[in-house]
Structure 1
């Protein structure tokens, strides 16, 4: 079985006007994605941000739960932060995975649109279950990663489609749904 890594990307991100921006780190993304990552056995959850003051903010929040009062107040939260890593770029996260694993990972990005290199959840799940090459799934904040960024990598996961026409999930929700599709129990076989 291949190891799974995820990254929450804050730059380069698009805003609603199509401009390239850097988004702010949110407290809920730090907590909720760390908890989902631990639940689904993600090797590392990378918070990817290019602004040092934003990484310092995230480190302050994480320190509270890892070693501060929060670590004794809520030990489950402490466990969720064991595999969270702050890095300054997508490249740094991929290089860390390559060093840890001894081989370059398959890198998938996510988007609410389809592209020529879109891959299904079933296909990526099968790779995770049957191959040894690690997988990194990158999640964009704001209005998603730039098209150029997504085209630099191996695949783009197919969009999450709900029952209705609305399609703008929070990144926390999208991460949880995608992790369940890639690593959750095969409930359809029961």
Structure 2
């Protein structure tokens, strides 16, 4: 399905991805529901233009196969399509081909389950699901270990949460929880865009 179609399909809508050599079998997913608010309550969040652009560009830089924007809200999926359309098939794509090549890797899905099904249909094997969390109390999988695993053939998807992080039901679906990013002090509230870039660099470059 192209980005000009109405976003009513229950499966992910993809722009496509090109095949490159020596790139990881890696996907990203940004969850807008279910996530938690600052009180730990289940909520949904609105997508932002910056998250679409910056995570897509980071993913393109590090060879990610596709970046899934996950929201069950029809108005939010419509907004994602409009942004993607402008930067791929519209004026933005014509004047900025580098940005176009990044946003072409965005796929829109309504649930995390749809993301996993899409990857497994594409790859023909089970996808390894890796959650991210700033909570150091969770069991963790080190970036070094995951980086080594990415040298194999198994597809992996790294799952990021908006708002105050992934809801427990999403984390519980994942096989691993990636170690949190530690700063210089007690402040620990990176933007999801920054976190995605840091993780990708650590995983790909060590």
Taking structure 1 as the reference length, what is the TM-score of the superposition?
Answer: 0.93
The CA deviation string for residues 49-90 of structure 1, in whole angstroms up to 9 with x for no partner, is: 110110100110110000111011211111111211000000
| Alpha carbons 2:84, 2:104 under 8 Å: kept | no
Query: CA separation in 1, counterparts of 2:136 and 2:121?
Result: 31
For residue 177 of structure 2, give the secondary structure of its aligned residue in structure 1.
strand
Query: CA separation in 2, counterparts of 1:37 and 1:23?
Result: 22
Q: Which runs of 5 or more residues in structure 2 are unaligned?
A: 1-21
Number of matched pairs: 184
Shift of 1:115: 4.8
The CA deviation string for residues 19-77 of structure 1, in whole angstroms up to 9 with x for no partner, is: 11110000000000110010000001000011011010011011000011101121111
Written as runs of structure 1 = structure 2, the 5 A alignment for 1:69-80 is: 69-80=91-102
For residue 150 of structure 2, give the secondary structure of its aligned residue in structure 1.
helix
| Alpha carbons 1:115, 1:156 under 8 Å: kept | no
| Equivalence for 1:12 | 34
Query: CA separation in 2, counterparts of 1:164 and 1:93?
Result: 35
Q: Which runs of 5 or more residues in structure 1 are unaligned?
A: none
Shift of 1:117: 3.7
Taking structure 2 as the reference length, what is the TM-score of the superposition?
Answer: 0.86
Decide which structure has greater helix share. Answer: 1
Question: Could you tell me which of 122, 130, 134 is aligned with 2:155?
Answer: 134
| Alpha carbons 1:12, 1:145 under 8 Å: kept | yes
Change (3 A) 1:108 1:21: same
1:182 aligns with 2:203: yes
User: What's the C-alpha RMSD, in Å, of the aligned pairs?
Assistant: 1.2
